Structures are given as structure tokens and as C-alpha cells.
Structure 1
Amino acid sequence: MSLQAACEAEVTRVRAGQTDGAHDLAHLRRVWSTAQLISGALGQGNLRVIEAAAFLHDIVNPPKDSPTRGQAAAASAAHAAAFLKGLDWADADIKAVAHAIEAHSFSGGVPAETIEAQIVQDADRLDALGALGIARCFNVSGQMGRALFDPEDPLAEGRALDDRAFALDHFETKLFAIAQTLNTAPARLLAQERVAFMKAFREQLMREVT
């Protein structure tokens, strides 16, 4: 069995019954694909470590509004370490995967200290931008019962931003900020195009609703 197949089987087992369309197997596959692009452009990174981290980084996936959400990256890293130990991985590689998983989280604040961690972090954050980022943002907001936007003040021109109430506010409160945190030049280049699309989408949305 390939590493991807083994990791996907473990994710499917652990997350049986979950229906989070923003953090499903398709998301993991996109992160791996993007990570390969970044690694190839840089000519750096242990692809085996990157692959395992890409597929296992969200294996512990509590709801976004869960009080345990802040510990999800650490819990995923611990689970990944135990899983890879069972596959007879070397301790150094397991440690590298665990670090990449812990560092991927935007809210966790763990610095990405290796090139593998930087690549996985960038690939995951890129999936929060562009057309995919818009789709995932509204998917998660729907899961949490948030409105699409404030019909009285969609762009928060006269109120405080509140992405707990309005999905569109999340663009400004987090997603555009993510683009400023990317580690690598290839990721930053991809982010420019994706952020431009998000801003164009928002402009089009305003034309349709105002």
C-alpha cells in the first residue's frame, strides 16, 4: 500500500461519520499537490515527510466552534506520530512530520522551523485562498449557521467586522491576512492571483446585492 493510501485509510477510519466538506480527503489531496509544486519550484524538501504531513495534518478535526479546536494541530501531530511509528518510520522522520503538522495551524502560532513545515504550511494556507478558499469559507460558515453577509452593511463600513456572524467578514478578519504569512516565494506568487480573485468576487457580489 502506498503512503497516500495508508494515510487516507487512517484518516477515513478516525474521522468516520464526519461530513466536513472543507477538510475532507479532497482538501488533503490538494494540499499534497500544492506542496509538491512548491517543493519542486524550490528544489527543496523531503517529499516523504511532506506527503505524510499533508495527509495527516487534519486527522483530528473537531468542529470550528469546538473548545478543543485550538489543540487540533497538536492532537493531529501526536496521532500521526503514533501511526507512523506503527509503519516503522525512523524517529527523525516522525519528528519532522509531527513538527510540520503542529506548525500548519494559523491559530496555533507554532513557527515553521524546517523547509518541510514551511511548505506544508504554505500549501494548506493556499487552499484557504482563491475560488477554493471562497467555497471552503462559505461551507464552514454554513456548518456553523452564519449568515452569508450583513445585508445592511456587507463590507462593514460602519460596524466592526464579525466573522462569527457573517461569512464575508472572514475575508478581512483572516483570509487576506493568511496571504501575508506565507513562507516561500512560489506560494506568495500563487497567493497574489488567488487574493485578486477573491477581491473581484467580493466586488461582483456587491454589484449583485446593492
Structure 2
Amino acid sequence: MNKELILKNTQAFILKQFAGEGTGHDYYHIERVVKLAKQIAEEENADVFLVELAAWLHDLGDYKLHDGVDRSIELISGFLLLEEVDSEIIQKVLEIVSQVSFSKGNKAESLEAKIVQDADRMDAIGAIGIARCFAYGGSKQREIYNPENPDETSIQHFYDKLLKLKDLLNTDSAKKLAEERHQFLENFLEQFYKEWNGN
């Protein structure tokens, strides 16, 4: 099993699948998650190949991108079988991917799953996290904010998810990196309400 070739082919496949995707779950999101996951994996002495492979594939088949139907097992295993990846590795990748999502609420069990989950969550906070929040909200026809009915707005997503992520991170490496990004979320909201109220 040529690990380098598998990773190269996976990257090319993901680029083809996610190029131009408009909800904030695009190729560049996945690429950022991969870079961050590799960095954390090296600091935490994890299996870097497994982390990188799962990070590249973590959004493939995601229900948010398939009209509410989760196709991750089917699409990930189908791709990895074509790449002749060992069945044991395929199983581990599927386990990691099933534990990454915030909305599924699954607990990350292995160190590798914790790392990919942390890297994905890190990309949901800070300046890029804010940009992705509004891109996704716009794709779902959500208002930016509505003081009369705030629950279904993009600003509400900060309270439902983004502001919680820092305290849900698993690894020390990610927790350190998250501080500045979390503070940026707080500062943004403060400025947002100031401007909303005409100040």
C-alpha cells in the first residue's frame, strides 16, 4: 500500500468533488482541516497517515451536502476500495469520520478521531468560521439576524454551536490554538450588536 500515492489521489479526488462548493464546506475548508490535523497529529504523536486520510474524506457524503441523507460510508468506502486501501484502514477512517460531526453528537474515541474532530471544529471559529457561518446561512436562505425572530438566523448559530466549540476540543494543541479564534468570535458579536443598534 503506497501511502503517499493514496494521499495524493485522495486530494485530487476531493478537489474534483468539492471545487466551487458554496456552503463553506468547500475544498479549501477540507485542505485547512488537513493542514491543521497534520500539525496537531505530529504534536500529539498520532498516526499522521490515518489522520490525514480521514481529514481529506471527512465531508465526503455528509448529509448537509446530500439533501439530509448521510452517504459517507458508501462514498468513502467506495473510493478507498478503488484505491486498494487495506480494509482495516478503511474501517478506521469510517470510524473517525462518523465521530467528527458536531451535529451528530458522537464522541471521538481514538486519538486520531479526536484530532480530526478538533481540526474541523477549529475551522468553524475565528475569522474563517464567521465567513463560513454566513455562507452556509445564505445557502439555506437564513436571515443574518432578526431581533423579532432570532432563532433561525446566522447570528443564532454562534450561540448554538460556534461559541461552544472551544470548550469541546479534545487535544491540548488545539485548545491553545483556539483561544485567539474564540476571542475573535466574541469581539465580532460585540461589534455586530453595536453597529446593529446604530453605534
**How does the TM-score come out when normalised to structure 1?**
0.83
SS in 2 for 1:59: coil
Between Structure 1 and Structure 2, which shows a larger proportion of helix residues?
2
% identical equivalent positions: 34
Determine whether 1:176 maps to 2:159: no
1:96: how far off? 1.2
Structure-to-structure mapping, 1:100-179, within 5 angstroms: 100-150=96-146, 152=147, 162=151, 165-179=152-166
SS in 2 for 1:52: helix
Determine whether 1:97 maps to 2:93: yes
Partner of 2:67: 66
- Give, in whole Å, the separation in 2 of the partners of 1:23 and 1:76: 14
- Give, in whole Å, the separation in 1 of the partners of 2:158 and 2:72: 26
- Give, in whole Å, the separation in 2 of the partners of 1:189 and 1:81: 34
AA of the residue aligned to 2:38: Q
Determine whether 1:205 maps to 2:178: no
Count of aligned pairs: 194
SS in 2 for 1:89: coil
Q: CA separation of 1:31/1:172 partners in 2, compared to 1, >3 Å: closer, same or farther?
A: same
- Give, in whole Å, the separation in 1 of the partners of 2:66 and 2:165: 20
1:146: how far off? 1.0
Per-residue CA distance 1:73-99 (angstroms, 9 max, x = gap) = xx3244222221222222221111111
AA of the residue aligned to 1:209: W
**How does the TM-score come out when normalised to structure 2?**
0.87
Pairwise CA RMSD of aligned residues? 2.2
8 Å contact from structure 1 (residues 77, 97) kept in 2: no
Q: Show structure 1 runs of 5+ residues with no match.
A: 154-158
Question: Which segment drifts farther, 101-110 or 193-202?
Answer: 101-110
AA of the residue aligned to 1:134: I
AA of the residue aligned to 1:189: K
Partner of 1:24: 26
Q: CA separation of 1:77/1:192 partners in 2, compared to 1, >3 Å: closer, same or farther?
A: farther
- Give, in whole Å, the separation in 1 of the partners of 2:16 and 2:185: 34
Partner of 1:190: 177
- Give, in whole Å, the separation in 2 of the partners of 1:179 and 1:78: 31
1:13: how far off? 4.7
Determine whether 1:88 maps to 2:84: yes
